[in-house]
Amino acid sequence: MSINKHYINQHVLGDIKSLEQVPIRKGFGEGLVEAGDLNPNIVGLCADLTESTQMHSFRNKYPKRFVEIGIAEQNMASVASGMASMGKIPFITSYAMFSPGRNWEQIRTTICYNDQKVIIAGSHAGVSVGPDGGTHQAIEDIAITRVIPNITVIVPCDAVEAKKATLAIAKSSKDGGTDTPVYIRLGREKSPVVTTEDAPFEIGKAQVVYELDENEFLELMSAQGGESSMTFKLNRDNNIKHDVGIVACGVLLYKAIKVAEALKLEGVSVKVLNLATIKPIDEESLIALAKETGAIVTVEEHQVAGGMGSAVAEVLARHAPVPMEFVGVHDRFGQSGTPDELMEEYGMGEKDIKKAVVKVLSRK
Amino acid sequence: MLLTDQEVKTLEKKANDIRISIIEMLAEAKSGHSGGPLGMADVFTALYFNLLKHDPKNPQMPERDRLVLSNGHICPVLYATMAHAGYFPVSELLTLRKFGSKLQGHPHREFLPSLENSSGPLGSGLSQAVGMALADKIDFDKLSPRYVYCMLGDGELNEGQNWEALMLGAKEKLGNLIAIVDRNNIQIDGYTEDIMPLLPLYEKFKAFNWHVQEVDGHDMDSIVTAVNKAKSVFEKPSVIIAHTIPGRGVSYMEKRYEWHGVPPGISDISGAPEKAQQVKVALDDLKD
């Protein structure tokens, strides 16, 4: 099998209807309650979106540890900083557009510059929020958080990973968590559960989720006579190296895997990396992938400028420069529509990922 | 009177020493803010030498009161007061704003860990103080082992975040929180009532459901009395509007907004001596 079954649900390659679909934010909400069970210092703060951000379960279980801030995201960030300085571990939630969007300077100064561990959970990120339209579609949040020194940035790919990430970031570094401020990005819509319950989650560690094994390589080579269906000849110096690497994060990891599987049938070998932690970035895994494949495509539901792809490019430009293509939003605002319509319109559909792979291969 | 005449005299002498240090450190740094720090020297002296529960030899003492400086630009008065209180040697004050100094141009706790917060961008300190008081309320309800003080400038009340924090402080009935506003009526561009009127300020705070007092920010006994009165209010947070004279003690700086963000000795400002004489005149004024 091409998928890493330890990490990835085996139904991923089948019909999407057979896959469980759960909003990523729901995994966060469940993780927060469990983290709250384990540590009485965890407190929750919300800016009038408690159910939307899935903090309501925590509020219902621990009402005394929950603070309703009202529609005041700037205040929420700085209040959380003050609480953290007294030993609390505050989680603050709103839509990503408002937190870290509206309150960016408060996050920079009162949380990060003050070096207080506050977890900023931004829900409803990306164009997949859908009908609410461009005002509510945060597609700049990875860029504006990852430039701040002293912060960890995490983009879970599904609800299961979001729950594990939430539990991990609640812990201190000595328990395998982190002592830094954290931004965790959450999606609103139901999305495929890609990862397994058993998949380990480690902050700062990327995971290969799809690759061909030796038999598949042999099969691929013999079936195509060593040639792919591409209109150009693939630059292959060693047949046990993958032709291209896809680095994906968030809901688009699912599509990246689907594209990898489709391309296998066309004689192209793709390795897919789940880059759940954007910062600190897993340089080692990225460099290894670039060195093996010699061509990288990044896939994210975010502006290409400054996002995950930019972070990957910053690493590879210095350590393993290879041709790269970037799937994401290209310098536009979002608009109303269904998530599927918007993903297509903004160039983040499976066909766009495939197009980017073909293009990067042609540049090898 | 809560203080004896002798106690008042001792505190006033201390405040004057702190003003002298402020002039010396600003003159050496050749940049920084003069008006606010000189104006708040009495309030800071009353806090660090009478009111606060703290231990300069054990700055992380858990039960210490917390003092949040929101208007970070007046840090020369905080640094000078802390040095005179024994947190670090007075001689270090002359490193203000220099490379590698503990005394950053705006306070940063990474460089000076005995600070409760790093600040500079205006309007966030009250929220941080609300957060601290709220954490204690969660843990101790009405029996918080300490008070949280927040030092605010009046000009900084232009920032909307303060009013978000005021609403939350009242909602959560934070009786362990005492905000002190430096009501010196100046900000960089001019007088506060010309730039963005704050009046009626007392009534605004009242309307936000805080316990409000107004004091003469240069009268030691009034400051101490007001803080003690604020401590007796359990059911709501307190704000003390401390009326101060910016540039207090330096004749040519008093009440002049032009001295808000400028140190003595580097610019010719109307009503002031020539720049070469400014430091000497300021020190002479304070040593009179």
- pLDDT tier for residue A16 given thresholds of 50, 70 and 90: confident
Instruction: Note whether B116 contacts A85, CB cutoff 8 Å.
Output: yes
Fold of B5-287: Rossmann fold (3.40.50)
Average pLDDT over all residues of chain A: 95
pLDDT digits (tens, 9 = 90+) for A291-348: 999 999 999 999 999 999 999 999 999 999 999 999 999 999 999 999 999 999 999 9
- Whether the pLDDT of residue B268 is over 80: the answer is yes
- pLDDT score of A346: 98
Cβ–Cβ under 8 Å, residues B252 and B220: no
pTM here?
0.97
Cβ-nearest to B131 among A70, A80, A115: A80
Q: Which residue has the tokens 């759940």?
A: A276
DSSP A50: T
Measured torsion, CA atoms of residues A84, A82, B56, A180, in degrees rounded to the nearest 10: 40
Q: Give the three-state DSSP class for B121.
A: coil
**Cα separation, A297 vs B209, whole angstroms:** 56
- pLDDT tier for residue A218 given thresholds of 50, 70 and 90: confident
- Cα of B235 to nearest chain A Cα, Å: 18
Instruction: Note whether B127 contacts A83, CB cutoff 8 Å.
Output: no
pLDDT digits (tens, 9 = 90+) for A25-76: 999 999 999 999 999 999 999 999 999 999 999 999 999 999 999 999 999 9
- pLDDT score of A239: 67
Instruction: Note whether A70 contacts B135, CB cutoff 8 Å.
Output: no
**Residues of chain B with pLDDT > 70: what percent?**
100
- pLDDT tier for residue A219 given thresholds of 50, 70 and 90: confident
Q: Give the three-state DSSP class for A65.
A: helix
Chain A contacts in chain B segment 133-172 (CB below 8 A):
133-136, 138, 160-161, 164-165, 167-168, 172
pLDDT digits (tens, 9 = 90+) for A118-176: 999 999 999 999 999 999 999 999 999 999 999 999 999 999 999 999 999 999 999 99
* pLDDT higher at B103 or A9: B103
Cβ-nearest to A110 among B110, B128, B134: B128
- Whether the pLDDT of residue B288 is over 80: the answer is no
| 3-class DSSP string for A129-147 | HCCCCHHHCECCHHHHHHC
CA B129 to chain centre: 14
Identity of the amino acid at A79: V
Domain ranges of chain B: 5-287
pLDDT digits (tens, 9 = 90+) for B225-251: 999 999 999 999 999 999 999 999 999
Q: Are strands A152-154 and B148-153 parallel, antiparallel or unpaired?
A: unpaired
Using the Cβ of A65 and the Cβ atoms of chain B, whether some distance falls under 8 Å is answered with yes
Residues from chain A contacting residue B109 (CB–CB below 8 Å): 114-115
In this prediction the ipTM stands at 0.97
> Closest by alpha carbon to A330, among A356, A358, A312?
A356
Mean of the pLDDT values across residues B264-270?
96
- pLDDT tier for residue A236 given thresholds of 50, 70 and 90: confident
**Residues of chain A with pLDDT > 90: what percent?**
88
- Whether the pLDDT of residue B43 is over 80: the answer is yes
- Whether the pLDDT of residue A238 is over 80: the answer is no
Instruction: Note whether A65 contacts B130, CB cutoff 8 Å.
Output: no
Residues from chain B contacting residue A75 (CB–CB below 8 Å): 127, 130, 161, 164-165, 168
- pLDDT score of A231: 84
pLDDT digits (tens, 9 = 90+) for B12-32: 999 999 999 999 999 999 999
pLDDT digits (tens, 9 = 90+) for B129-174: 999 999 999 999 989 999 999 999 999 999 999 999 999 999 999 9
- pLDDT score of A235: 79
| 3-class DSSP string for A274-322 | ECCEEECCCHHHHHHHHHHHCCEEEEEEEECCCCHHHHHHHHHHHHCCC
- Cβ atoms within 10 Å of A36's Cβ, excluding its own: 22
DSSP A107: I
Cβ–Cβ under 8 Å, residues A120 and A44: no
- pLDDT score of B85: 98
H or E element in which residue A75 lies: helix A73-85
Angle between helices B5-29 and B75-85 (to 10 degrees): 120
Q: Give the three-state DSSP class for A203.
A: coil
- pLDDT score of A1: 60
pLDDT digits (tens, 9 = 90+) for A251-297: 999 999 999 999 999 999 999 999 999 999 999 999 999 999 999 99
Residues from chain B contacting residue A67 (CB–CB below 8 Å): 134, 168, 172
**Cα separation, B67 vs B239, whole angstroms:** 14
DSSP B94: G
Domains and CATH numbers, chain A: 10-18+199-362 (3.40.50.920), 21-192 (3.40.50.970)
DSSP A48: S
CA A1 to chain centre: 24
- pLDDT tier for residue B1 given thresholds of 50, 70 and 90: confident
> Closest by alpha carbon to A62, among A43, A45, A80, A81?
A43
> Closest by alpha carbon to A243, among A289, A206, A274?
A289
Residues β-bridged to residue B150: B68, B179
Nearest residue of chain B to residue A112 (CA atoms) = B118
CA B283 to chain centre: 21
Cβ–Cβ under 8 Å, residues A259 and A353: yes
Identity of the amino acid at B193: E
**Cα separation, A76 vs A345, whole angstroms:** 35
- Cβ atoms within 10 Å of B63's Cβ, excluding its own: 10
